[in-house]
Structure 1
């Protein structure tokens, strides 16, 4: 059994979604509740937060310079693997939000373009990084297989 396995660590096949940094870190640590995409999904439930190898440099600089979010230094952000888990609770265009949403949640859709879909996350928490390759869209990750596999070569993760 891997040293990562613990009672609150996810197991089995779980949906995942890839994000560039610092978006992956912000979602996994509960600072970003909504991310926007040009496509929607009917999936709701647990979703692994996968950090791709990319960095949105301008967004990182903005967060670092204009907010009080304690974002790690660039070299401390993790890439090429699962870095957190959250629940995907809603996928909606900003003009189609359900009436029963909390005001805090509704406010996070303010930055979503009207033609895009906002993915609303809650119960987010960081996880020890599990190296693995990402994919486009929502994809499945078998956590048990990843934890049981020998470490991948760094070049295989991207």
Structure 2
């Protein structure tokens, strides 16, 4: 199945859920280096979710990761910004002290970095998709998958 077919198949009534992240977090999630992201709010949604790279970059986190890890991060100017860069399955949203009994030891360990007042979003099966320009929003939002897939390529999107 092609990326397009997978995205269409995982949409519900032609709509796909999307969550925005600043870089390098969008890249880290899409490429499987970050499996839990924390937010001040929770959600009951579970299922496929598009990973949107906002137009922002957390320079401090990027510089820290470059200096202290062996993660092969692209250069700052090589990141994609302002569009969908990947898809993953959102399988759990929980505060660290309220994890379900069935949560694996590995996943419990990943929640240790989540602030006790925040919710950890656990992502599985992340995979990059070809960049699709798209405006971001706060929270989980929906996009019409056919409109997203028919958006002009990134180089052309700047003309419109």
Per the normalisation by structure 2, the TM-score is 0.88
User: 1:84: how far off?
Assistant: 0.3
Give 1:64's aligned residue.
66
Distance in 1 (alpha carbons) for counterparts of 2:53 and 2:128: 11
Classify the secondary structure of the residue corresponding to 2:106. Answer: helix
Show the 5 A alignment for 1:1-158. Answer: 6=3, 9-11=6-8, 12-150=14-152, 153-154=157-158
CA contact (8 A) 2:4 2:149 kept: no
How many residues of Structure 1 are paired with residues of Structure 2 in the alignment?
152
Match of 2:11 in 1: none
Instruction: Find the aligned partners of 1:91 and 1:53 in 2 and give their Cα distance.
Output: 25
How big is each residue's C-alpha offset from its partner over 1:84-117, in whole Å with a ceiling of 9 and x where there is no partner?
0000000000000112112221111111110000
Tell me how far 1:155 sits from its aligned partner.
8.5
Q: Distance in 1 between matches of 2:34 and 2:103?
A: 17
Which secondary structure state, in structure 1, belongs to the residue aligned with residue 17 of structure 2? strand
Query: Distance in 2 between the 1:144 and 1:101 partners?
Result: 35
Conserved 8 A contact 2:29-2:35: yes
Which runs of 5 or more residues in structure 2 are unaligned? 9-13
Query: TM-score with structure 1 length normalisation?
Result: 0.90
